[in-house]
Amino acid sequence: MYSKEDDTIFRKHKTEGITIANNRYQRRFPLVILSISLSVISHEKMKKSVQIGQCRIYVEETKTKNFYNDQPLITTNCKCENCQYFERNVVKRDIRLFNNLKAMGVILERQPNINPDGVCCVGDTEKFEKGYLGNYKVFAKFGKTQKEPQTKDENGELKSVRFEESKDDFNCSYEIVKISDEELDFQFWVEVNRK
Q: Which of 50, 52, 83, 190 binds Zn ion (CB under 5 A)?
A: 83
Task: Choose among 38, 8, 18, 51: nearest CA to 163.
Answer: 51
Pick one of 80, 103, 114, 122: the residue that binds Zn ion (CB under 5 A).
80
Residue 54: which of 155, 128, 195, 163 has the closest Cα? 163
Q: Count the residues of the shown chain that bind Zn ion, applying the rule CB under 5 A.
A: 4
CB of 127 to Zn ion, least distance (A): 21
60 or 117: whose CB is closer to Zn ion?
117
Region of 193 (left: φ > 0; alpha: ψ -120 to 50; beta: rest) is: left
Q: Which of residues 115 and 150 has its CB atom nearest to Zn ion in the complex?
A: 115
Q: Is 91 in the site for Zn ion (CB under 5 A)?
A: no
Q: In angstroms, what is the minimal distance from the CB of 78 to Zn ion? A: 3
Minimal distance in Å, beta carbon 175 to Zn ion?
22
Residue 78 found at the interface with Zn ion (CB under 5 A): yes
Least CB distance to Zn ion at residue 104 (A):
25
115: left (phi over 0), alpha (psi -120 to 50) or beta: left
Please state the closest distance from residue 31 (CB atom) to Zn ion, in A. Answer: 59
State the pairing for strand pair 128-145/119-123. antiparallel
74 near Zn ion, rule: CB under 5 A: no
> What is the chain's percent helix, strand, coil content, to nearest 5?
40, 35, 25
Distance CA 156, CA 163 (A): 21
Of 27-35, 47-55, 58-66, 83-91, which segment contacts Zn ion by CB under 5 A? 83-91
C-alpha–C-alpha distance, residues 61 and 58, integer Å: 9
Angle at 129 between CA 125 and CA 135, to 5 degrees: 70
Residues 124-183 that bind Zn ion (CB under 5 A): none
Residues 92-131 that bind Zn ion (CB under 5 A): 121
Q: Give the footprint of Zn ion on this chain (CB under 5 A).
A: 78, 80, 83, 121
